[in-house]
């Protein structure tokens, strides 16, 4: 099992910044990919950004140039730096880890951007 604990969400004005953190514990050796997803009210959960063990990253078009995902392997932590936040970024953000074709999820952290 993999346990994921997110932190760093909150309320911010449009144009502001937040940094989310996700600490992984448990059976983390074989984790291949870690990432962030988000789910806004009435919408499906969507990929925001992900990073592989090799450091390759991918982003949703809506956040390219504004969000940056990074990973501190020594701390078993993945980060999401979110800049130039927009009202439409408001959602619950979930940390995700993929290990042996299994998906593990954190409990989610709320990000609210006021316009």
- pLDDT mean over 84-109: 95
pLDDT, the chain, mean: 95
Give residue-wise pLDDT tens across range 31-71. Answer: 889 999 999 999 999 999 999 988 999 999 999 999 999 99
User: If DSSP codes are grouped into helix, strand and coil, which group holds residue 7?
Assistant: strand
pLDDT of res. 1: 87
Give strand ranges (E) for the chain: 2-7, 10-13, 18-26, 31-39, 46-52, 57-59, 67-72, 77-82, 91-99, 102-105, 109-114
Using the CB atoms, write b or e for 14-35: b if 16+ within 10 Å: eeeebebbbbbeeebeebebbb
pLDDT of res. 37: 98
């Amino acid at each position: 099992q993999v346990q994921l604990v997110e932190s760093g969400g909150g309320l911010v004005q449009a144009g502001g910044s937040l940094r989310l953190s996700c600490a992984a514990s448990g059976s983390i050796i074989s984790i291949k990919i870690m990432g962030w997803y988000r789910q806004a009210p009435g919408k499906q959960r969507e990929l925001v950004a992900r990073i592989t063990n090799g450091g390759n990253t991918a982003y949703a078009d809506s956040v390219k140039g504004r969000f940056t995902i990074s990973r501190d392997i020594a701390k078993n932590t993945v980060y999401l730096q979110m800049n130039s936040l927009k009202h439409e970024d408001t959602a619950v953000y979930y940390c995700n880890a993929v290990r042996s074709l299994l998906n593990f999820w954190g409990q989610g952290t709320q990000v609210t951007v006021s316009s």
